[in-house]
Structure 1
Amino acid sequence: MAGIKRKEAPKAVAAVGSGSEKKQKLASTGSSKKKAAPVKEPTPESSDSSEDEDELDEEEDAMSGVELEQEGGNSESDEKKIRTGQSSAEAHAAQRALAKERKAAKPNADIIGRSKKIWERLRRKSHVPTEERKALVSELFEIITGRVRDFVFKHDSVRVIQCALKYSNMQQRKQIVTELRTDMRELAESKYGKFLVAKMVVEGDAEIRNMVVPQFYGHVRRLINHPEAAWIVDDIYRQVATSSQKALMLREWYGAEYAIFGKTKASQGQIDEKVTADLKAILEENPEKRKPMMQYVQQLINQLVQKKMTGFTMLHDAMLQYFLNTTPGTPEAAEFLELLKSDLDEENGGDLLKNLAFTKNGSRVVCLALGYGTAKDRKLILRVYKDAVEMMALDANAHTVLLAAMDTVDDTKMTAKALFPELLGENIKDEAERENRLVDLISHLTARIPLLYPLAGQAKWLVSDVQKNIIAEVHSVREVTSKKNPEIRRAELISYMSPYLLPIIQTRAADLASVGFGCQYISEVLLEAQGDKKAACEAVIALTEGDVTSEGHIAQNAAGGKMLRALVSGGKFDPETKTVKLVEPRLGFGDMLFKSLKGKFVDWATSPSSFVVVQLLESEDVSDANKKVVRDELAKGKKTLEKAAKGENAPSKKAPVESDDKQNKKKKKTSEGPRGNAGAKILLEKLSK
């Protein structure tokens, strides 16, 4: 067997003498060698000879690792080829030669052997010149054309076809797919053939995919239960299938008639692009079929859950369709919630809930389960995710589950203990390591959302429209199942988080302000967090010191200027009243910033962050005395403001060589007039009043 070193040579090796006697080689003791006594040859009726041959065959299999066909050899001729008077190495060499002969006697042995040699060469892509690779691929296709089926159902030759798919052109790929078109289901069920199906859809174009996918219509229910085929079918459903193909595959979960429908339409080439898998719409058209269809879906869902095959996207989509069509408070809904918790009592259980959280529709199922569940149900669900919170926060789908938990669980202490220790790094003793980790999460596209959600709520820049729809759905359920006031729940969560969120601004303000996400974090925490914010505010104000016109200064950073403007306003804009609603207690950031900017208001007013100065004049959180000083200083620099408003004092840069199209566009913009500083224009208007 390749890769395994034998400890000793086979002990039972027979020696055939020149006469009718059989001698047996015995192990010697010490340094002397003893001659074996002659042993009488067994009679034909004895089974010793067959036993020796059986042992030899077993030894040969162990050494070569090659399956031997019974009809491929003759036991008497085999025995003659392996003489026991040989040494161990010679005996092994004879065994390998015999295995090679038997292998050569199999059908298509020559062409399979040559194709495997070509594969061995092609797979070393970086070592094969382009011209040689083209020649090898051409030779390979001469071998396999018309014989592809002979290759694909053997573990050692199927990789040859995979190699051919990889290096072939699209026409050659279509040729292979056409030969195997009727074997797709059998290949999907094969331990090795399923990888070939995956290769076809990955390397192929839309035409090839449209040839492969319809071959599974009418067989989805059986294949999704198959240990080999299930994964490839689900991968095709998730990554390759079009929306109409997905709908046809999912509809097979609703009943046998839909399997027949999809198979018939595919054979006739009449696939309707508007076909839907929305179970609610289907039930509205056929209300009399509700009970059998719901039972059919529930049965298949239960089969996969019991088999622990819970990672399929198709399963998650079917579960959502089923859950959305159950009526809250009915046995159907109760049984479904129990199904979600079915593996929680087992050691290392909860695989179903963990897998659901990381798909689009699966995460929606968990969010609805949190909404409809009891306090005990929510506690059990959160316990499943205890050690996976950070992973969920980084995932585009799973972090929505964290938001739903924050909005539905009434026991905020339990929520805090379940979610925030991992998010905030409470268990990390090294302070620098904890800060670095928190800064990384704050700068991440999705991980920042659970951290800022209690503070910013459903802000447009934080929560997507899809998430808003899911949250709205959860909120409508929460009105019935939750007892705590949402604002009280939110305040309690903020109270727990604040001692961890504020210090990071004090120590890492420069790092946070260097990126847009960090600037948003600073704004939300300073406006909404609870506790002493003075040190954090001073750390941010320290960033405004220095030459305003220098590169890298916060005034030259659009996100930094927007952050300062929001903090100076002292609150958030209320779209209903069209005013800024100041936070309580007052932040007072504007008056603190005034001291740092005093004497440089004109420079700030003509910078990209000119609206910070505008906000100093407009904010109700800035004292009137400080506003007067700002106005007086701006009045002295009115000429500079006028130039900035006209765009005359913009810094000149060496223009790069541009194409004719770019030059024409630039001339057009110049003819329309230079763009001035919008903030400076507003400040001039305020000074004129």
Structure 2
Amino acid sequence: MAEPKRKAGTDAGPPPKKFKSEHGNNGVHPDRQRFQGGKPNGFKKEDGKEGVLNGQSSREAHHKQKALRLERQAAKPNADSIARSKKIWERLRIKSAVPKDERRTLVDELFSIITGRVKEFVFKHDSVRVIQCALKYASPEQRTQIAEELRGSYRELAESKYAKFLVAKLISEEKGGSHRVRDMIVPEFYGSVKRLVRHPEASWIVDDIYRGLATQEQKARLLREWYGGEFAVAGLHDESQKVTGDLATILRESPGKRGPVMGHLKEMTNQLVQKKTTGFTMLHDAMLQYFLNCAVGTPEHTEFLEMLRDDEEGDLFKNLAFTKSGSRVVCLALAYGGAKDRRNILKHYKTHVKLMAMDAYAHLVLLTALEVVDDTVMTAKAIIPELVGKDLDAESRDHELLGLATHIHGRVPLLFLMAGEGESPKWLLDTPHHDTLREIREIRKTTSKKEPETRRVELNKAIAQPLLDFIASQAEALVQTSYGCQFIGEILIGANGEKEKALEAMASLAAQQNAAEMLTTPHAGRLFKTLVQGGRFNPATKTVEAIDPPLKFAELLYNTVKEEVEDGLLTWATGSNSWTIVAMLENEGFEHKDELVAQLRKHRAELAAPKEDKAAGAGTKVLLEKIGEDVEEGGVPLREGHKSKKDKSKKAKREAADAVEDVLGEEMKEVKKVKKEKKSKKGQQ
């Protein structure tokens, strides 16, 4: 007989077997019949009361189990203390639910219970949280007291499934605090790094200590253990002995140890990479030390790049990008890699570009990709769409770009392509990142074919128009911050695209009442001055390098201020934006210069009046000089041909000095004449 078909949606496999019993074919295995007593639910229902199992109701059975559990707990050491401390923890763990006075009382009671017995609490999964709670509300003295009681146990605590969180809590609370607790914790891990970094519980604690707590000296001691057993025991507890974690220095001092050291370091890094535990900062530091000491073209160098290449899932590259040493490893891998290697590396960062752009270290990986990859079409597809939010709707795109443009790191990849090599403003990148890029550019000379300026121009064209459109729609939001003003200035000066709408949006801000106050800020003043000048100021030559084609923003702004703002020119000329008007007069291509000068001369008195704002006063003074006016003390403008009291005083002083010089000159001539006569007489004798 054929088996019945299964209903759709049921589990795969043959249908369940049916067992017959004295009660019929009810689908219950015969061995289970005796536990059910012939009843489908296993309970005897009487008068609607709760069912009974083995002569006991389920409620009675639960009560009995609970009583037995409490009895066992009460028989353990410190049962009463632990029970009371857990009650306090239950109350304290929700900070907002406890008034401050009550919290202080509970914390004092908690410390009265645990003081002197901290070790009895920390190795139990339910009571260790009590110590963590105590640390949360502890004073610095109480925190030090707990740390003292745990001295000698930190390595064991780090290996515990539950107690490791206590060590993590101590580390987080100690950051930026006293050095006493730090110097108790860190030395206990000396000599055990190789074992602990592979421990499932302790590895993250060791790395947290290395990354966030240890001093540079302590970091060096921990990192040296990656170089071999000799370094794990040398000077282990002698804190006075200075050590270095720089592998190049160690190999320079002991060149004979290069083979064993490099072999041990390679073994440890490979083990962690193979285990997919690649998020440790200590691992990234060790990998960088190894890579920097591999000569280019050697088997060591090639094998290291192959190890990175084998990271098919990309976990290693993703973790490396977000640490200081790791990002440098990725940058070097991009610089030394071939076209295929670079493409594969960038593939791992798909959907992570924006996150990388806003990270202190990962954004350097993006800059390196922009610097070394010859296939600019591929780079433009891999990086730029995510940066500018190409696949988002207009509102979301503007929101994302505004966040990037006003972020200290996020703005860097957007602005990096706006200036030529070596021309990027110093404020855009810090010195270490400039040094890394210089290193990458040196390597690029032998590994990339395309001319750097050609690469930059091609990528600039790919990113420019979305950023110009963004400025056109969000000019008011950007001009509110200094980062936003810097962003606008760099894009409008350096981008290769259609700038008309963006420039019009900037000029229209001058006519908006709600934007008037924003434009009086120093950063807005600098922005408008730069746009009016039409280029960047070169401090070396002390000249403005105008761009081609010219912006012609001076004309746009002049017409807007003159026509759409009441007394606009006078307001700008006598206020904090006076330097913008100065820039108009200094712009050789400004078409309305004569008209502007005539307008300013009509307001000599207002321009010469004393100003509360020193910057505005300095700007108006320069304006008066530009339009051929001088100012007497007290702010009174002078008519042509008249001299101020100050000038008269200066002239009188010069005349007096000349008179003195004339008198002294005559006297000196007389003295010289007498000396000459005496000398002549001596010669005759």
Q: Identify the TM-score tier after normalising by the shorter chain.
A: 0.7 to 0.9
Aligned residue for 1:687?
Answer: 627
CA RMSD of aligned residues (A): 2.8
Matched, 1:451 2:414: yes
2:256 counterpart letter in structure 1: E
Query: 2-side partners of 1:454 and 1:32: how far apart?
Result: 77
On the 8 A contact 1:569/1:620 being kept in 2, the answer is no
Aligned residue for 1:40?
Answer: none
1:89-168 matches, within 5 Å, as: 89-128=59-98, 133-168=103-138
Using a 3 Å threshold, how does the CA distance of structure 1 residues 676 and 392 change in structure 2: closer, same or farther?
closer
Q: Deviations over 1:226-269 (max 9, x none)?
A: 1100111111111111221112111211221221125231xxxx
Query: 2-side partners of 1:32 and 1:296: how far apart?
Result: 65
Using a 3 Å threshold, how does the CA distance of structure 1 residues 634 and 172 change in structure 2: closer, same or farther?
closer
Query: 2-side partners of 1:132 and 1:510: how far apart?
Result: 50
Matched, 1:642 2:608: yes
Query: 2-side partners of 1:419 and 1:122: how far apart?
Result: 48
Helix, strand or coil at the partner of 1:688: coil
TM-score w.r.t. the length of structure 2 is 0.79
On the 8 A contact 1:555/1:607 being kept in 2, the answer is no
Query: 2-side partners of 1:630 and 1:95: how far apart?
Result: 95
TM-superposed CA distance for 1:135, in Å, is 5.0
Using a 3 Å threshold, how does the CA distance of structure 1 residues 483 and 144 change in structure 2: closer, same or farther?
same
Using a 3 Å threshold, how does the CA distance of structure 1 residues 275 and 605 change in structure 2: closer, same or farther?
farther
Using a 3 Å threshold, how does the CA distance of structure 1 residues 290 and 649 change in structure 2: closer, same or farther?
same
Aligned residue for 1:247?
Answer: 220
Q: Deviations over 1:165-214 (max 9, x none)?
A: 33444444333322321111111000011111122333353211111111
Matched, 1:436 2:436: no
1:112 counterpart letter in structure 2: I
1:317-396 matches, within 5 Å, as: 317-344=285-312, 349-396=313-360
On the 8 A contact 1:569/1:621 being kept in 2, the answer is no
Aligned residue for 2:671?
Answer: none
Q: Deviations over 1:507-552 (max 9, x none)?
A: 22222223222222222222222233222222221222368xx983
Give the gaps of 5 or more residues in structure 2. 1-33, 45-51, 630-685
Candidates 459, 466, 475, aligned match of 1:500: 466
Query: 2-side partners of 1:492 and 1:303: how far apart?
Result: 42
Matched, 1:552 2:516: yes
Aligned residue for 1:304?
Answer: 272
Aligned residue for 1:609?
Answer: 577
Aligned residue for 1:571?
Answer: 535
Helix, strand or coil at the partner of 1:573: strand
2:223 counterpart letter in structure 1: L
On the 8 A contact 2:187/2:237 being kept in 1, the answer is no
Aligned residue for 1:427?
Answer: 391
Candidates 153, 156, 171, aligned match of 1:201: 171
TM-superposed CA distance for 1:310, in Å, is 0.8
Using a 3 Å threshold, how does the CA distance of structure 1 residues 621 and 261 change in structure 2: closer, same or farther?
farther
TM-superposed CA distance for 1:595, in Å, is 2.6
Matched, 1:517 2:479: no
Q: Using the aligned pairs only, state the percent identity.
A: 52
2:410 counterpart letter in structure 1: A
Give the gaps of 5 or more residues in structure 1. 1-23, 35-81, 652-673
Using a 3 Å threshold, how does the CA distance of structure 1 residues 88 and 129 change in structure 2: closer, same or farther?
same
Query: 1-side partners of 2:508 and 2:561: how far apart?
Result: 11
Aligned residue for 1:10?
Answer: none
2:189 counterpart letter in structure 1: F
1:241 counterpart letter in structure 2: A
On the 8 A contact 1:555/1:604 being kept in 2, the answer is no
TM-superposed CA distance for 1:450, in Å, is 0.8
Helix, strand or coil at the partner of 1:572: strand
On the 8 A contact 2:578/2:616 being kept in 1, the answer is no
Using a 3 Å threshold, how does the CA distance of structure 1 residues 104 and 83 change in structure 2: closer, same or farther?
farther
TM-score w.r.t. the length of structure 1 is 0.78
TM-superposed CA distance for 1:369, in Å, is 1.3
Candidates 150, 155, 166, aligned match of 1:185: 155
1:23-34 matches, within 5 Å, as: 27-29=37-39
2:204 counterpart letter in structure 1: W
Aligned residue for 2:509?
Answer: 543
TM-superposed CA distance for 1:557, in Å, is 2.8
On the 8 A contact 1:442/1:448 being kept in 2, the answer is yes
Q: Deviations over 1:370-402 (max 9, x none)?
A: 111111111111111111001111212211111
Q: Say which is worse superposed, 487-496 or 678-687, in terms of deviation.
A: 678-687
Query: 2-side partners of 1:412 and 1:578: how far apart?
Result: 35
Query: 2-side partners of 1:431 and 1:207: how far apart?
Result: 54
Query: 1-side partners of 2:326 and 2:362: how far apart?
Result: 9
Query: 2-side partners of 1:356 and 1:25: how far apart?
Result: 60
1:527-538 matches, within 5 Å, as: 527-538=493-504
Q: Say which is worse superposed, 176-185 or 595-604, in terms of deviation.
A: 595-604
1:337 counterpart letter in structure 2: L
Query: 2-side partners of 1:182 and 1:310: how far apart?
Result: 29
Candidates 425, 428, 431, aligned match of 1:462: 428
Helix, strand or coil at the partner of 1:263: coil
Aligned residue for 2:659?
Answer: none
Aligned residue for 2:195?
Answer: 222
TM-superposed CA distance for 1:502, in Å, is 1.8
Helix, strand or coil at the partner of 2:236: helix
Query: 1-side partners of 2:366 and 2:36: how far apart?
Result: 74
Number of equivalenced pairs: 580
On the 8 A contact 2:509/2:515 being kept in 1, the answer is no
Using a 3 Å threshold, how does the CA distance of structure 1 residues 531 and 264 change in structure 2: closer, same or farther?
closer
Aligned residue for 1:485?
Answer: 451
Query: 2-side partners of 1:105 and 1:114: how far apart?
Result: 15
